[in-house]
Amino acid sequence: MLIRKPDRILGSEITPETVYYNRRQFMAASSAGLASLALPTIAKAGLQEDDEITPEDIVTQYNNFYEFGTDKSDPAAFAHEMSTDPWSVTVSGEANKTGTFAFEDIIKGLDVEERVYRFRCVEAWSMVVPWMGIPLKDVLAQFEPTGNAKFVEFETLYRPSEMRGQQGFFSSIDWPYIEGLRMDEANHPLTLMVTGLYGKELPNQNGAPWRLMVPWKYGFKSIKSIVSIRFTEREPLNTWKQLQASEYGFYANVNPAVSHPRWSQASERRLPSSLFNVNRRPTLPFNGYADEVAHLYAGMDLRKYY
């Protein structure tokens, strides 16, 4: 994990992409203290020595965002049809401050951080992505959740006129897309509300204007283009569990010991890959973040609570 927490990140201070692409080069530049790069402090939690940054064109062109279609290329092809300005978020449930807020008012005054995280899809492919965002705990704290708030539920934009994947009569998804976290997961320091990647604003196909990022969970937990935050006493029924509970649970922690009913989770295909270079590697428990998050699930049967 790479973390930077400045008072304010200026465009001129963002680490160049050419440095991002090679982590060893990045670390060498950081240790050299090159002021011109304004490089962040490196924290090694989660990342391995061979975790090189996935090229930006793959991260922005290879996505699951079914609101725009089921092919990996559909979000990049059609997400530009979604308008993100203006953007508002409704906050409800077990909190002292609820209502509808402008996105820019929610994030105003909150520190943006640069972080490099592994990203592991439940489909057994993975990436390493340099995100920019705000710790979720800082976002949620301003709404003053009460003691009754045991979970937090998120909802994606529902706008079929601009999200063509929501238009089909034969879609099996009951829109809008819903995800949720336990409050201790939401308040964990690693949990991020992403507003950018590769030093740029978050593209529509990656979940603009903001999305969740929970690096120790499978990617479907990291809900995109969020328009609703609801604090609740009860565990939310997330979309994929509603669709197929035998395959997708609420927790969705990366676990190589628990196979998907239709494929193994013991290994993953790290992008970029090809027919001649599959780039397959062993999957790590909690996606490599076990030291930071395993205590959240002490005493739980992770085969039952998958």
- Containing domain of residue 131, as a range? 2-297
Answer yes or no: is 133 within a domain: yes
When mean pLDDT is compared across 7-11, 102-106, 276-280, the lowest value belongs to: 7-11
Evaluate the CA torsion angle 57, 58, 62, 65 in order and state its sign: negative
- Mean pLDDT score across all residues of the chain: 88
Q: What is the mean pLDDT of residues 267-294?
A: 96
| Structural domain includes residue 43 | yes
- Predicted pLDDT of residue 47: 86
Q: Do residues 271 and 125 lie in contact, with contact meaning Cβ atoms separated by under 8 Å? A: yes
Q: Could you tell me the pLDDT band of residue 3, with boundaries at 50, 70 and 90?
A: low
Q: Confirm whether 306 is domain-assigned.
A: no
The 10s digit of each residue's pLDDT in 121-149 is 999 999 999 999 999 999 999 999 999 99
Looking up residue 270, the CATH number of its domain turns out to be 3.90.420.10
Tens digits of per-residue pLDDT, 74-93? 999 999 999 999 999 999 99
Give pLDDT, residue 216. 98
- pLDDT at residue 275 above 90? no
Looking at the 3D structure of the chain, how many domains does it have?
A: 1
Residue 303 lies in a domain: no
Is 54 inside any structural domain?
Answer: yes
- Domain assignment present for residue 23? The answer is yes
Q: According to the model, what pLDDT value does residue 268 have? A: 98
15 assigned to some structural domain: yes
Residue 148 lies in a domain: yes
> pLDDT class for 25, splitting at 50, 70, 90?
very low
Under the banding of pLDDT at 50, 70 and 90, the label for residue 218 is very high
pLDDT digit string, tens, across residues 145-172: 999 999 999 999 999 999 999 997 667 8
**51, 82, 88 from 85: Cα distances, Å:** 35, 9, 9
